[in-house]
Structure 1
């Protein structure tokens, strides 16, 4: 039988068609997976993302990486998540590049590299019109981080430039604009509108802010615990660990209407399994004190250690306390100091103050001064009060300076430190480091005694 050969153009056309069909199939799977996520069918979604990712789809790899990071339909596996994220970013997907940059900046990996993350993000925002990229950048500017100083006006301009106004990440950031009162008055009603839309479109973290708004109340929204709990339950259904943590704490620590300790502890444990460090810290304190659970020092230190290993600064403060006092371990002050110094690097002012106390008692005034100023800079009320006392009397750390003493005393007092309230009241009454102000002095005096 005579065989016919397709002309070269025909072969090329067949190849192009097969490639297009292949990519169309991948995109269909990823799109279907996105739809399943909105229905909370995370396991089925993860299967489809994996199929498309195995076929080389960068978008599916990015979404699957998020599934591994947040435990959506798969067990939490940060190593797999990070590997997939890198693969998607290397394939050129802008969303993955932006998220990878964020992970480097926020140290959400063992490969933290702030300079590298900033360089990646700077390069992206120069030309990108991608809503996820621009929203991620705007969030960094709104909140401030190790790579970027807080710049709310610039953040607003970035958000205004986003074309896709239905993007869930853009909507969440716009909710934050009204939640925090950036460039306008705080307006919880407007914030709710944006957060609820963001949630409906798959930014499930937004449920936490809806719950917070109803928990706090004010700014055009009436406080409503029923609606708060309702929103947090929505977030729990959507597998959001922050909502699990918040609802778990409500169940464990509120009045009889919402009190459900067993459900609360279970939610906190689920959140901890998903990597939520706030839940780990809460459980650590519960097991140390025996609150709502049987006292268990080993579980207490285990939760604190896991949280600290994930980069939680407050967990480092807690873990150091355990080595200081021997809770779940042998007393080891050197280990405590080592942990507190690392926790300070992560941003714990409480840990920095403890390091200051230690070195001050050891007459190592150079290190004591360093950590005292770090504690105050990081906003720890006790650190600011201790610095105020040093300035008030003068010491081997600083020269006497009543103006500086008043500044730090008042900052600490405004954060409800009783000793700082006493000192601030005394200085206002006598005009030390400030003008005489009897009414203000009286206010801080009442605050010191708990009358206010």
Structure 2
């Protein structure tokens, strides 16, 4: 338990230092965490060496090594059933982050993560099917299936999106507002702004 808390604290400090581009302090923390085979530390090291700054020289070879370690650890976690690792690998394939872009594999791993109950993957898949991204042909049925799955797990943006659908054409505004309120309660600021806009509009009408 103590070890877990220590690694969490180290990661928090490392991420804060990275956010300030303070690579001098982030580097030793990330190296210790990477030695413990923590994927997030490996990918942060890859980013660091890819960019470089006054504290850490840019080194594409080291960046590639750390990306390789990151993907190795992700794939091992995927074999162990980790949905979050599947989502991260899918994202890397979609956007070509540290790996060659492969939309087919991106969809494969998004779907794997979504099928294991990863709400972010479910919502992302619904968007892919809606807009026909990642080499997919737009499919409203698949879009709604994955959106519904994400809503059931109370993914904030999915709730907001679902709520807007109810609000359209006066389909069921009260139900729509319930979804949007729940989204706002879960911290999705766009939903909060929408509710504020509705409130102001109602006051102006009165």
Give the TM interval when normalised to the shorter protein: 0.7 to 0.9
How far apart, in 1, do the equivalents of 2:42 and 2:175 lie? Answer: 40
- Kindly tell me: are residues 247 and 268 of structure 1, through their superposed partners in 2, closer, same or farther at Cα, counting changes over 3 Å? farther
Q: What aligned pairs does 1:65-76 form with structure 2 within 5 A after superposition?
A: none
**TM-fit CA distance, 1:269:** 2.9
| Counterpart check, 1:264 vs 2:58 | no
Partner in structure 1 of residue 166 of structure 2: 359
- Post-superposition CA distance 1:78-97 (Å, at most 9, x none): xxxxxxxxxxxxxxxxxxxx
- Post-superposition CA distance 1:397-452 (Å, at most 9, x none): xxx38xxxxxxxxxxxxxxxxxxxxxxxxxxxxxxxxxxxxxxxxxxxxxxxxxxx
Query: Which of residues 114, 121, 124 in structure 2 aligns to 1:308?
Result: 114
How far apart, in 2, do the equivalents of 1:354 and 1:269 lie? Answer: 32
**Relative contact order (alpha carbons < 8 A, sep ≥ 6): 1 or 2 greater?**
2
How far apart, in 1, do the equivalents of 2:47 and 2:200 lie? Answer: 40
- Kindly tell me: are residues 373 and 288 of structure 1, through their superposed partners in 2, closer, same or farther at Cα, counting changes over 3 Å? same
CA contact (8 A) 1:208 1:232 kept: no
Q: Which runs of 4+ in 1 moved over 4 A?
A: none
Partner in structure 2 of residue 342 of structure 1: 149
Partner in structure 2 of residue 280 of structure 1: 86
CA contact (8 A) 1:211 1:228 kept: yes
How far apart, in 2, do the equivalents of 1:298 and 1:342 lie? Answer: 22
CA contact (8 A) 1:211 1:227 kept: no
**TM-fit CA distance, 1:250:** 1.0
CA contact (8 A) 1:323 1:332 kept: yes
How far apart, in 2, do the equivalents of 1:369 and 1:287 lie? Answer: 36
Q: What aligned pairs does 1:168-207 form with structure 2 within 5 A after superposition?
A: 168=1, 198-199=2-3, 203=4, 206-207=6-7
Aligned length: 185
Question: Of Structure 1 and Structure 2, which has the larger fraction of its residues in helix?
Answer: 2
Partner in structure 2 of residue 329 of structure 1: 136
Partner in structure 2 of residue 253 of structure 1: 47
**TM-fit CA distance, 1:206:** 4.9
User: How much is the aligned-residue C-alpha RMSD, in angstroms?
Assistant: 2.7
Structure 2 gap ranges (5+): 57-61
- Match of 2:170, SS state, is coil
How far apart, in 1, do the equivalents of 2:8 and 2:127 lie? Answer: 30
- Match of 1:224, SS state, is helix
Q: What aligned pairs does 1:29-428 form with structure 2 within 5 A after superposition?
A: 168=1, 198-199=2-3, 203=4, 206-216=6-16, 224-236=25-37, 243-244=38-39, 246-254=40-48, 255-256=51-52, 257=56, 259-260=63-64, 261-326=67-132, 327-364=134-171, 365-394=173-202, 400=203
- TM-score norm. by structure 2 comes to 0.74
